[in-house]
Structure 1
Amino acid sequence: MAGTRRTRVKRKLLWRWRPNPLRRRSDRVEGWIVLATWIVALAGGLLAGEAAGAAMEDDLATRRAAVHAVSAVLTKDADATPAVTEDGIGGTVHAKVCWTAPDGSAHTGLTRTEPGRAKGSSVTVWIDRQGDLVRAPLTADQAGLQSALTGVLVAVGTGAVAFGCGRLARLRLDRRRMRDWEAEWARVAPSGGRT
């Protein structure tokens, strides 16, 4: 019984390429469409996902290399209680800080810090090459996760587009087959099958 089932599965998968006097040209075309769809969906999806993940990883590494941490000093006391956010969690407050840029110029700005810190306290801020405040870069683990998720999303999207295009091509082929069948039926049975 198991051998019979395996043979049936093989027959179902390969029926479009078996020699058959009833096989039409559109059946062969459909077989190639299905094969191309699967190849593009799987191989194309994997390649596109890998490329997108690698590009995201490179971009995040470039961003990490373009910023660096410096020590800054609070110019006034930070608020004692954090503002409540929409989700009810508030862990940091904005505070004004002063830091020295790589070119030696003094800069001031707002950064997030723990509540209740006193004026003159030292905090770590992230700056770019011009000395402007920027967000802290993602850690290597966070960047790896984001790159992996981007790769998976692009791979799935590429596969979905390939399957959609293959399905659209098969629908057009089915419409063409129906038109051909109607024309043949009209030629063979002009009375619509009534005698």
Structure 2
Amino acid sequence: MRTRRSTVRLWRRIPLRRRSDVLEAWGLLGACVLALVGTLLAGLVTQGAVERELNQQRVERQAITAVLIEAARDKPSAGAADDDRVWARARWTARDGSTRNGQTKVQPDTPAGARVTVWTNEHGALTSKPATQEEARFQSALA
């Protein structure tokens, strides 16, 4: 005995199908497409904004040489989980010619008077090293 197999089609004619069912299906399909396009556009806008911000940081920040005012400690504190460097006070000359003091991270046991490289912003204040081009691409893609 053979059984008759019915095939399911996406838009097949069903006698009990109402016009509102068709409108609802089209509306749902449109909402999904709109959500996908909107998500893609939002991602591209975010990626561009992050890349512009990181590129701006590379332009504004500059590496300068500073001199340590005090010797660095021999090892990092117990709570320093980010790297093996320690904080020490340093002196540098800003772009406007003024002398500045501040704390920067250096290798342990660096003696006072040693020259170290620090990063400053356009106002001469210490700041972190800007992201490289590869790091900027990675961060913008992640965002």
> In the TM superposition, what is the alpha-carbon distance from 1:85 to its structure 2 partner?
2.3
Q: 1:35 aligns with which of 10, 29, 39?
A: 29
User: Which stretch of the first structure deviates more once superposed, 44-53 or 117-126?
Assistant: 44-53
The corresponding residue for 1:162 is none
Partner of 2:137: 144
CA distance in 1, matches of 2:86, 2:131: 21
Instruction: Report percent identity of matched pairs.
Output: 41
Unaligned stretches of 5+ residues in structure 1: 151-195
Residue among 81, 98, 103 paired with 1:105: 98
Give TM-score scaled by structure 1 length: 0.65
* Residue of structure 1 in register with 2:43 after alignment: 49
Q: Deviations over 1:65-88 (max 9, x none)?
A: 11111000001111011112275x
| SS class of match (2:20) | helix
8 Å CA contact 1:84–1:90 kept in 2: the answer is no
**Distance (Å, rounded) in 1 between the aligned partners of 2:34 and 2:85:** 48
Aligned residue number for residue 161 of structure 1: none
Runs of 4+ in 1 over 4 A off after TM superposition: 18-21
Deviation at 1:33, TM superposition (A): 2.0
Length-normalised TM-score, structure 2? 0.87
Report the aligned-residue RMSD: 2.1
Cα deviation 1:30-88 (Å, max 9, x = unaligned)? 1122211221222221121111111111111112211111000001111011112275x
* Greater strand share, structure number: 2
Match of 2:89 among 89, 93, 96: 96
In 1, Cα distance between equivalents of 2:83 and 2:138 = 25
- Distance in 2 of aligned mates of 1:119 and 1:137: 26
Paired AA for residue 61 in structure 1 = N
Q: Partners of 1:65 and 1:40 in 2: how far apart? A: 37
Distance 2:83 2:66 in 1: 22
Which residue number in structure 1 is paired with residue 66 of structure 2? 72
Partner of 1:170: none
Q: 1: distance between equivalents of 2:34 and 2:62? A: 42
Q: CA separation in 2, counterparts of 1:126 and 1:139?
A: 14
Match of 1:84 among 78, 91, 98: 78
Q: How many residues align?
A: 139
